[in-house]
């Protein structure tokens, strides 16, 4: 499944277009490598998503085309969530 669609189905992001935008701005990684919006995601992959100064690292547990809201959290596990302070504050 495409990474942008996976992030929407798993309810990590609200919109698929947001995932595409993150990929275009080099803020999505699969197993430490830059990901394009169409990059394939499979169970076991480690995804890193950078939102502004926040970085979220998750492990893909399962891939599904459609899930109910209650089951979406079962598709991944959060490995790490941190605030990045390597960005300049005085811009």
CATH code: domain of residue 20: 3.10.290.10
Q: Is residue 88 part of a domain?
A: no
Residue 50 is assigned to a structural domain of this protein: yes
- The answer to whether residue 89 sits within a structural domain is no
Residue numbers of the domain that contains 52: 3-83
Overall pTM > 0.75:
yes
Contact criterion met (CB below 8 Å) for 41 and 64:
no
Give pLDDT tens digits for 4-27: 999 999 999 999 999 999 999 999
Reported in sequence order, the residue ranges of the chain that DSSP labels E, i.e. its strands, are: 28-30, 33-34, 46-51, 54-60, 76-83
What are the pLDDT digits (tens) for 60-80? 999 999 999 999 999 999 999
Helices (H) and strands (E) counted in the chain, each on its own, are: 3, 5
Residue 61 falls within a domain, yes or no?
A: yes
Which residue has 């991944």 as its token pair?
76
Number of separate domains in the chain: 1
The answer to whether 37 and 19 have CB atoms below 8 angstroms apart is yes
């Amino acid at each position: 499944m495409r990474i942008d669609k996976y992030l929407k189905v798993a309810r990590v992001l609200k919109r698929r277009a947001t995932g595409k935008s993150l990929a275009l701005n080099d803020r999505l990684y699969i197993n430490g490598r830059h990901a394009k919006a169409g990059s394939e995601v499979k169970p076991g992959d480690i995804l890193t998503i950078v939102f502004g100064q926040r970085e979220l690292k998750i492990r893909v547990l399962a891939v599904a085309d459609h899930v109910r809201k209650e089951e979406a959290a079962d598709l991944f596990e959060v490995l790490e969530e941190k605030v990045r302070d390597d960005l300049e504050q005085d811009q």
